[in-house]
Every structure is written in C-alpha cells, then in structure tokens.
Amino acid sequence: MSRIVGLKAAKGAIVGAMAVAAIGLAAPMSSAANESSWTQGCRGYWYSTSGHSYCQYALNDSYQTTFDCNAEIDTQKTKSVRIGFEGKMNTHECTFKINKTTVGLWI
C-alpha cells in the first residue's frame, strides 16, 4: 500500500513540475520601459504587450504614436490635443510582445 501511495506522489510531483515548466515557457517575461526623452511634453511607455503615449504637458497640438510590436506590423496612431494637455493620448495592445512605443510630432 505504501508503495502505491509513493508512486502516486512521485507522479504528482512530476506532473506538477512539468506544469510549472510549461507555464514558464508560455508566459512572456514582464517588462516595462519608457522613452528616455520627452517630445514636446509627451513620450511613449510600454509594458509586456501594451503600449501607450502620455503627456505631462503637451507643447504641441498634434502627435503621432508608433507602437513597435515584435511579431506584427507596427501601428501608428495620431492624436490632436490642446496645448497643456495632461494624460494618456493613445494605447495599443500587441498580441505577443511590444518592443517600444515612440511619440513624434504629427505635421
């Protein structure tokens, strides 16, 4: 009887270890970053698969945000804001991973 219980415990431990390994391989590493400089009061931020542009104090009225997805075509979004705007401008979600988000002026 103790041999059967021992075998079941060993099988359970193996299945558990395999599940943890599978989750580790499937789940992407979490990362967060932002542009090192501001573009006329705004800059891009990105976290794992999501990117957004944020303004601390917009000095221009038109911006373009570029979302650089790892396994997809890059996406660009434009936004017109009022001078002095503070807050989130644009967001985009990549399917697998985002490399970076950049903000530029839209002319």
C-alpha to C-alpha distance for 62 and 70, rounded to whole angstroms: 26
Q: Which residue from 41, 39, 27, 85 is spatially nearest to 66, judged by alpha carbons?
A: 39
The pLDDT, as a whole number, for residue 2 is 53
Asked if residues 98 and 44 have their Cβ atoms less than 8 Å apart, the reply is no
The model's pLDDT over 41-67, given as tens digits with 9 standing for 90+, comes to: 999 999 999 999 999 999 999 999 999
Would you state the pLDDT for residue 18? Answer: 56
Q: Does 29 have pLDDT greater than 50? A: yes
Q: Please list, in sequence order, all residues whose beta carbon lies within 8 angstroms of the beta carbon of residue 1, skipping any fewer than 6 positions away.
A: none
Give the model's pLDDT for residue 1: 56
- pLDDT higher than 90, residue 26: no
71 versus 27: the higher-pLDDT residue is 71
At 12 the pLDDT is: 53
Residue 16: its pLDDT value, please?
53
pLDDT of residue 73: 93
Q: What pLDDT shows up at residue 58?
A: 98
Alpha carbons 30 and 73: distance in angstroms, whole number: 21
Whether residue 10 is predicted with pLDDT greater than 80 in this model: the reply is no
